[in-house]
Structure 1
Amino acid sequence: MITPAFELTQDPDFLTIIIKVPYARASEFDLYFEGEDFKFYAKPYFLRLTLPGRVVEDGREKASYNTDKGIFTIQLPKEIPGQYFEGLDMLTSLLAPKKSRSAKPLVEEIAASAEVSEEEEEEFDWEIEQTPYKESAESAQPLQNCYGFGNLRSGVFQRLQDELSDVIDIRDPDQIPVGERRRKRLAAEAAKFDPDHYLADFFEDEAIQHVLKYKPWWVDAHKKMTALQGESHQEEDTPKFVVFSEEEREQLRKFTNKSYLLDKRSCHHVYLGLIDILLAYCYEICVNEGEKNVESSWNIRKLSATLCWLESFSNIHDVLISFGRRVLCYPLHRHFGLVTRALNDTVMILQLGKAAVLKCLLDIHKIFRENDPAYILNDLFITDYCIWIQKSKSRKLAALSESLQKTTLTKSHLGFELEELEAAALLVQEEESMLRAAGTVSKQQLPSSESETSDSEESSSTSSSETEGSDSDELESSASEDGKKNSLQGTLQGEGTAPLIDCNGLRQGTKSLAFEVSDEKSKVSLQSTSVPGKLIEELEKQMHTAIRLSEQPEGLATASCVLQEQEEPCVSDPDRFSKESTGKGNFLEVSSKTNPLLFLSSTNEDEN
């Protein structure tokens, strides 16, 4: 059988049930209702509901069917006219639970309306820390560490080791007790906290102030509820401010209705975990201004220690401290103002009632469902929360919101020395502003000092102009002497044999020869910076070098070089060398069987 899409509305006298059964036979349907029971059958659709109030068959009941849309509309008279039926939006809780196959149920659920449950509800104190887990007992039973909704799951991650790192931050949660998880979480947060990132968001908070102005849907709903609070604040007024979309209703119909047997401590953990998840969700909605993106799933599960570290909190203050620390460690915007904003939004959602809480949980369920690794968190937490919240007591949510509103959270509670960091940063900022002010004053005094120095510059310029004449004469005479010394360098560089070192000792290139010229003796020393010493020794054995300097009538210095092989005698006869003159100047012509300069240059290149 197929459970059809349905919704319920009411007025003071009638309960209206709208059932969508496309492609059903209108001629073949059955309808039954009595008291709180309602049954509808139209092949292949079957619907059974447990109504929140009693209806009666008195002749005023009506039923109609729209063949084009395939919609049944059924109006049932209320047994008590004017009675308000609570929880008509909680579609999952209206579906009758499946019967057990055994002849007798193994566990029987006591009616929630018993007087004992009401007394326990009043004695429930949110501020009193529950009995903590003992490490000795946990370590004695390492395989029984539980987590998930109400700590009802264990051994899940033993089968999901490959996807574990993408979902939660703790490894081997089945082997790690709750106390050890908390210590590891605090250590990871302390290592992750970045003072520079925090101070950057503290001083440059334009983007953060912009997102803080965003108002999600629950702000307007809370204003409307507060406006009517003075007139007649009743529980039936709250559902008017929370409207479920068709997609959300469809998701509610897909859930399987079931009951949760939770003891007092587990119930306490469930409520505190709900606060932690709602805080992370409110932060995500605020910073992204209601828009979803690829990081939405990461933000929610990373900021909630319940989801990320499988944490079980013992009081509300610990929940707020954990959330505040994680906001200042992990997301892009790390500002304490975002922590306060998420806290205020969570109080509003809880004050709006379980319909608002359910709407937020359905949105979280959708975000995790569309993210591949995060679907595990739906199975562990969110799906059970969506089913459980529909049966929770409104007065417990009201008490929870009141306790959350009274709990204070300051920067000193987070343990990161935020106030000291801010004070030190403000002192540095003040010193920098004082230095800038001092620099501005000194710049204003600069024009007067510059006028005083200009006079001295003018007087020095007159004296320097007088010495320019004498200096220019000296420069001309030195230039003529330098020209004579550089004539040999220009001639040898024109041959293109190898880079040389000029007469002043300046090196020309890496592969170079050094010519040292002195007035007392005429000699040449051939050196190579890249040729090995043995090769130079062999070359010195094969050749002899001599330079003879002679002065021309015009006063230009020329050089004659005698280069011979080892078997020829050392000759200083100038007749073996011919000197030719061109219009560009005097140059050297080498007349020998082998040109040792060319030989040396080519040898250097081969060695390299």
Structure 2
Amino acid sequence: MITPAFELTQDPDFLTIVIKVPYARASEFDVYFEGEDFKFYAKPYFLRLTLPGKVVEDGREKASYDTDKGTFTICLAKEIPGQYFEGLDMLTSLLAPKKSRSAKPLVEEIAASAELYEEEEDDFDWEIEQTPYQESAENTLPLQYRYGFGNLRSGVFQRLQDELSDVVDIKDPDQTPVGERRRKRLAAEAAKFQPDHYLADFFEDEAIQHLLKYKPWWVDAHKKVIALQGASQQEHGTLVFSEEEREQLRKFTNKSYLLDKRSRHRVYLGLIDILLAYCYEIRVNEGDKNVESSWNVRKLSATLCWLESFTSIHDVLVSFGRRVLCYPLYRHFGLVTRALSDTVMILQIGKAAVLKCLLDIHKIFMESDPAYILNDLFITDYCIWIQKTKSKKLAALSESLQKTTLAKSHIGLELEELEAAAVLVQEEESALKAAGTVSKQQLPSSESETSNSEESSSTSSSETEGSDSDERESSTSEDGKINSLQGTLQEERTAPLTDCNGLRPGTNTSTFEVSDEKSKLSLQSTSVPGKLIEELEKQMHTAIRLSEQPEGLATASCVLQEQEENLVSEPDRFSKDTAGRGNFLEVSSKANPLLFLCSTNEDDD
């Protein structure tokens, strides 16, 4: 049999049931109703409802069939005119069978026939091997801790460890008690908290302020409920479920939950935790869904992510606040308080609004792999359970939530201290910027003084260079004639060169300013043969070509100074006879022509 789609509406005197049965024969259908029971059959469709109020058969009932839409419309008279039937949108609850009123036990033994007992006795082996009785230890069976909706599940993670490892943060929850889960959760949140991220969202909050102004769908619904507080209950049905949501409700299998007082209390607290995470997700994405929606809901809810069991509303708010400031993209305390006010609105609207939120969460998890497992652990049971919850319970829960306060000091992450320190740093930076602005205003006068000192220093340096050039000109005039090689070297001398010790070329002891007279004196003192002189002239031309590059001159100057230091450090080598000095000059000039210049200068000195 197929359960058809259906919808219930009411007015003060009648209850209307619309049943969609396409391709059914209108001439072959049966309707039965009495008190709270309603049954409809039109092959292959079958519908059985347990109504929230009683209806009667008094001749005013009527039915019609729309062939174009394929729908049956049945109107039934209420037993008590003007009575309001609550929960007509809770389709899963309406599909539940009527509760048994008998005292018959839920589990009973079905007796077998005497023949079966006799056959069992005949087949029994009396010679079966026996073993002595041993009392089993208490820890033979591993102790498994419970979790899920109302803490009714256990052993799930042992069977689905691979799938659930990416959904929840707690490892091995079957062997982890509730207190240990809480300690591990707090440690993980403290390690994840990033002060820089929090302060960035605290000071640069333009995007967050935009999100805080967003109005989700429950804001308008809450305004309507507040406006209709003095009206009759029949006018409070402001929320309408979509066809997709109705289809979700029809697919749920009705269940009964045996919960004690403590378990019911924890179920309500878990509902608050899940709604807070859902309100944050809707606000930061402005009502749109994305690939991060599933992650946001389950990560911000400690009930879903750590299988937490809360004992007070304040603990729920503290946990949600810590997780908002540690994990998502926007980590602002204003989003925590706004999610709190949104949850209060949803609870004040009623269980229809709560059910719409739970159905949306169920859809988000169904479209996310492997988060759909959380539907089996929590959300599906919440969707079924909330339909049977009394509206007075949710109203009392909203009042308690509204009275509970949450401050930054309750979070336990030193938020106020961080903000005070950041404000102090900002004030110091502002003071430094102000001082820098004043110094920049005084800068022109100091720049003028600096420029004057630079001009005076440049003038003195030019005078010094002028006196040096005069002295060089006088020394060259005394020598007489200057050959072409000396003229080329004199032109290269004007380039801004520095040696390896940072000295200017004018201060170096080895220079390229060599006159003919000095060359002759140095050659005579060493008694070098004529062939060597010709070879040295060729090497000198090579040195001149190398000196045309500034980098080459600087390198040559460094080599000259190193060779001078070597010559000074080895004075015994110059105490040899004339032939020995000649050989030294010949070898050194072939290796490096600049070494010859250095050695001749030393001999001249």
From 395, 413, 432, the counterpart of 1:398: 395
From 404, 427, 439, the counterpart of 1:407: 404
Corresponding position of 2:47 = 47
CA apart distance, 1:490: 6.1
User: What letter corresponds to residue 287 of structure 2 in structure 1?
Assistant: G
Q: Distance in 1 between matches of 2:589 and 2:268?
A: 105
User: What letter corresponds to residue 488 of structure 1 in structure 2?
Assistant: Q
From 356, 363, 366, the counterpart of 1:366: 363
- Change over 3 Å in CA distance of 1:483–1:294 after alignment to 2: farther
- Change over 3 Å in CA distance of 1:183–1:80 after alignment to 2: same
- Change over 3 Å in CA distance of 1:466–1:291 after alignment to 2: same
Consecutive aligned runs of 4 or more in structure 1 exceeding 6 Å deviation: 138-141, 483-487, 492-495, 516-520
Q: Distance in 2 between matches of 1:468 and 1:161?
A: 87
Corresponding position of 1:238 = 236
- Other structure's SS at 1:157 match: helix
**Is 2:378 the counterpart of 1:381?**
yes
Corresponding position of 1:128 = none
CA apart distance, 1:14: 1.6
- Change over 3 Å in CA distance of 1:215–1:523 after alignment to 2: farther
Corresponding position of 1:491 = 542
CA apart distance, 1:457: 4.5
Q: Distance in 2 between matches of 1:548 and 1:145?
A: 94
Quick check: which one's helix share is greater?
2
User: What letter corresponds to residue 10 of structure 2 in structure 1?
Assistant: Q
Q: Is the 1:517–1:523 Cα contact (8 Å) retained in structure 2?
A: no
CA apart distance, 1:517: 9.3
Q: Distance in 1 between matches of 2:414 and 2:242?
A: 45
- Change over 3 Å in CA distance of 1:51–1:548 after alignment to 2: closer
Q: Distance in 1 between matches of 2:354 and 2:433?
A: 53
From 302, 310, 315, the counterpart of 2:307: 310
- Change over 3 Å in CA distance of 1:339–1:455 after alignment to 2: same
Q: Distance in 1 between matches of 2:317 and 2:537?
A: 86
- Change over 3 Å in CA distance of 1:268–1:494 after alignment to 2: same
Corresponding position of 2:27 = 27
Q: Is the 1:296–1:367 Cα contact (8 Å) retained in structure 2?
A: yes
Q: Is the 1:21–1:71 Cα contact (8 Å) retained in structure 2?
A: yes
- Change over 3 Å in CA distance of 1:388–1:489 after alignment to 2: farther
- Other structure's SS at 1:6 match: strand
Q: Distance in 1 between matches of 2:213 and 2:537?
A: 80
Q: Is the 1:142–1:177 Cα contact (8 Å) retained in structure 2?
A: no
- Change over 3 Å in CA distance of 1:456–1:63 after alignment to 2: same
Write the mapping of 1:406-425 to structure 2, written as runs, cut at 5 A.
406-425=403-422
Unpaired segments ≥5 residues, structure 1: 109-137, 508-512, 526-543, 560-608
From 506, 512, 515, the counterpart of 1:482: 512
Corresponding position of 1:175 = 175
Corresponding position of 2:186 = 186
- Other structure's SS at 1:188 match: helix
User: What letter corresponds to residue 196 of structure 1 in structure 2?
Assistant: D
**Is 2:60 the counterpart of 1:60?**
yes
Q: Is the 1:24–1:44 Cα contact (8 Å) retained in structure 2?
A: yes
Corresponding position of 1:430 = 427
Unpaired segments ≥5 residues, structure 2: 109-137, 474-486, 494-510, 515-535, 547-551, 575-580, 600-605
Q: Is the 2:293–2:364 Cα contact (8 Å) retained in structure 1?
A: yes
Q: Distance in 2 between matches of 1:105 and 1:96?
A: 20
- Which whole-Å deviations, capped at 9, do the CAs of 1:387-418 have from their partners, x for residues lacking one? 00000011111111100111111111111111
Corresponding position of 1:275 = 272
Q: Is the 2:314–2:406 Cα contact (8 Å) retained in structure 1?
A: yes
User: What letter corresponds to residue 38 of structure 1 in structure 2?
Assistant: F
- Which whole-Å deviations, capped at 9, do the CAs of 1:64-106 have from their partners, x for residues lacking one? 1121221111111222222211111111100133999x99551
- Other structure's SS at 1:312 match: coil
Write the mapping of 1:437-456 to structure 2, written as runs, cut at 5 A.
437-456=434-453
Corresponding position of 2:329 = 332
When the two structures are aligned, how many residues end up with a matched partner?
495
Q: Distance in 2 between matches of 1:141 and 1:217?
A: 50
Q: Distance in 1 between matches of 2:452 and 2:589?
A: 58
Q: Identity rate of aligned residues, in percent?
A: 79
Q: Is the 2:9–2:15 Cα contact (8 Å) retained in structure 1?
A: yes
Corresponding position of 1:157 = 157
